Amino acid sequence: MKKLIYMIKCLSFLLIIIFVFAIEFVNAQKPITLKLTVTVSPEVEKLFMKGGRLILHLTNQNNRELKPKSEATIGETPVNWESSKSFVLDSKNKNVLAVGLDKLIPHFSEKYYCSVTYKQNIDDANERVEGNLYSETDSFALSNHVNLTLVLKNVYDSTKIVDHPFVKVVRIKSKYLSDYFGKPKYLKAAVLLPYSFFDHPEKTYPICYRAPGLNGRYDQVNGMIANKEFANWWFRKDAPQVIYVFLDSQGPYGDTYQVDSENNGPCGKALTEELIPAIEEVVHYEPNSKKRYLAGKSTGGWVSFGLQVLYSDFFDGCWSYSPDPVEFEHYGLIDIYHDSTIFYNRWGYLQPGRRTINGEPTLSMKDWIHGENVNSRTNDYRVSGGQFGAYNAVFGPKGVDGLPSLMFDPKTGVIDHAIAKQWEAYDLKKVLEKNWSTLGPKLQGKIWIWMGDMDGLYSNVATRYLQRFLDKTSNPKSDAIIRFTAMAGHTQEWSDKAVLEMVAAKAALVK
CATH number for the domain including 229? Answer: 3.40.50.1820
First to last CA, the chain: 109
Distance CA 284, CA 138 (A): 51
Select from 357, 362, 360, 361 the least CA-distant residue to 487. 357
Average pLDDT over residues 466-489: 98
275 domain residue, yes or no: yes
CB atoms within 10 A of CB 469: 15
- The answer as to whether 26 is a domain residue is no
pLDDT of residue 24: 45
Among candidate residues 92, 121, 155, the one where a domain is terminated: 155
Is 10 contained in some domain?
no
What tens digit of pLDDT does each residue of 290-328 get?
999 999 999 999 999 999 999 999 999 999 999 999 999
Residue pLDDT, tens place only, 27-56: 445 679 999 999 999 999 999 999 999 999
- 286 and 417 both lie in a single domain: no
For 54-68, what is the mean pLDDT?
A: 81
Backbone angles phi, psi at 151, to 5 degrees: -120, 125
DSSP 319-387: EEESPSPSSGGGBTTB-TTT-SBSSB-TTSSBPEEEE-TT--EEEEHHHHHHHHHHTSTTSSGGGS-SH
> Is position 504 within any domain?
yes
**pLDDT given at position 165:** 97
Is the domain of 46 the same as that of 140? yes
Residue 13 clears pLDDT 70, i.e. is over it: no
With contact defined as beta carbons under 8 Å apart, do 408 and 332 qualify? no
**Do 106 and 207 belong to one domain?**
no
In this prediction, residue 21 carries a pLDDT of: 42
Q: Do 352 and 397 belong to one domain?
A: yes
Looking at the fold, whether 171 and 70 belong to one and the same domain comes out as no
pLDDT at 17 over 70: no
pLDDT at position 61, please? 84
What does the alpha-carbon distance between residue 425 and residue 502 come to, in Å, rounded to a whole number? 30
**117, 31, 372, 361 alpha-carbon torsion, rounded to 10°:** 130
What tens digit of pLDDT does each residue of 246-257 get? 999 999 999 999
**Identity of residue 265:** G
Q: State the sign of the Cα–Cα–Cα–Cα dihedral 425, 430, 433, 434.
A: negative
Same-domain pairing of 177 and 316: yes
Q: Judge if 302 and 215 occupy the same domain.
A: yes
Does 1 fall in a domain? no
The domain containing residue 240 runs over which residues?
A: 167-327+427-508
Nearest to 69 by CA among 395, 356, 387, 297: 387
Answer with the one of 123, 155, 187 that is the final residue of a domain: 155
DSSP helix/strand/coil, 312: coil
- Number of separate domains in the chain: 3
Q: How many Å is the Cα radius of gyration of the chain?
A: 26
> pLDDT exceeding 70 applies to what percent of the chain?
93
> Measuring CA to CA, which residue among 392, 418, 417 is closest to residue 406?
392
Query: Considering 392, 425, 458, which residue would you say is the last residue of a domain?
Result: 425
432 or 2: which carries more pLDDT confidence? 432
Residues 179, 264, single domain; the answer is yes
Considering the domain architecture, whether residues 145 and 226 belong to the same structural domain is answered as: no
Residues 237 and 372 in one domain: no
pLDDT tens column, 193-225? 999 999 998 899 999 999 999 999 999 999 999
The candidate with the shortest Cα–Cα distance to 388, out of 372, 376, 402, is 372
- Residue 11's pLDDT band (cuts 50, 70, 90): low
What's 44's domain CATH number? 2.60.40
Q: pLDDT tens, 149-161?
A: 999 999 999 999 9
Same domain, 432 and 322: yes
Alpha helices in 144-284 (DSSP H): 175-181, 220-226, 228-234, 267-270, 276-282
Same domain, 186 and 298: yes
Residue 11 forms part of a structural domain: no
The whole-number pLDDT of residue 23 equals 40
